[in-house]
Amino acid sequence: MVLSATFFGSRTQISQGTLTSQGLRPETFIDRARKERRLDMDWTRASYTSNTPDTALPLPLGAQDRLSLFFQLGFLLAGQKTPAAPGQSWNLPVLSPAQAQTWTFTWRGTETLDLPAGKLSTWKLEREARHSGDTRMTLWFAPSLQFIPVRIRLVEDDGDTVDQRLSRC
């Protein structure tokens, strides 16, 4: 994923891993902005390292990086045996260089979006900011496109916003 903004430069995130019967299993995550941050996951040892490879942290089962989590959520939604219900939530362990945290995404209903890629019926999920410095996320997934995220809106506590929209299918 590449984000570019005038006056702020660009940010590139890369997530590499494998697809398993439980979904995505990230192995490497790289985040390049002003500096580079890297996470390497060792699923055999159930640990991961950041830019300081000599410090291994516990790797929770099903953990995701900050990019793979969007697609893992789509995988979980697609595997639902019953339709989502108001207030239903999904918890995912998300890795950072310092620790893994559980992020909760709550189903907010359906919404039809008019995107550059066309008009799509979506499922809307939200993650509320839990503390100062945390990011609020609103995600829209298209059931007709195997629940890929078609819009991702990130809002920082200072109001800075990133709003990505699917431009083509």
Q: Are 157 and 129 in contact (CB under 8 A)?
A: yes
Tokens of 51: 């830019």
* Domain spans of the chain, in order of start: 2-165
pLDDT score, position 71: 95
Q: How confident is the model at residue 140 (pLDDT cuts 50, 70, 90)?
A: very high
Question: From CA 126, how far away is CA 35, in angstroms rounded?
Answer: 29
pLDDT of 9 over the 80 cut: no
Q: How confident is the model at residue 6 (pLDDT cuts 50, 70, 90)?
A: low
pLDDT score, position 122: 97
Q: Are 155 and 106 in contact (CB under 8 A)?
A: no
pLDDT of 8 over the 70 cut: no
- Reference 77, options 96, 90, 86; nearest CA is 90
What would the mean pLDDT of 111-131 be, rounded to a whole number? 95
Q: Could you please report the per-residue DSSP string of 47-62?
A: EEE-SSTT-EEE--TT
Question: From CA 15, how far away is CA 38, in angstroms rounded?
Answer: 10
> Percent of the chain, pLDDT > 70?
98
pLDDT of 15 over the 90 cut: yes
**pLDDT, tens digit, 9 for 90 and up, residues 28-74:** 999 998 889 999 999 999 999 998 777 899 999 999 999 999 999 99
Q: How confident is the model at residue 5 (pLDDT cuts 50, 70, 90)?
A: low
Query: Residue with structure tokens 């990133």?
Result: 162
> At a CB cut-off of 8 Å and minimum separation 6, what does 81 contact?
none
Q: Which backbone phi and psi does 66 adopt, to 5 degrees?
A: -75, 0
pLDDT score, position 83: 82
Q: Are 106 and 125 in contact (CB under 8 A)?
A: yes
Question: From CA 19, how far away is CA 103, in angstroms rounded?
Answer: 21
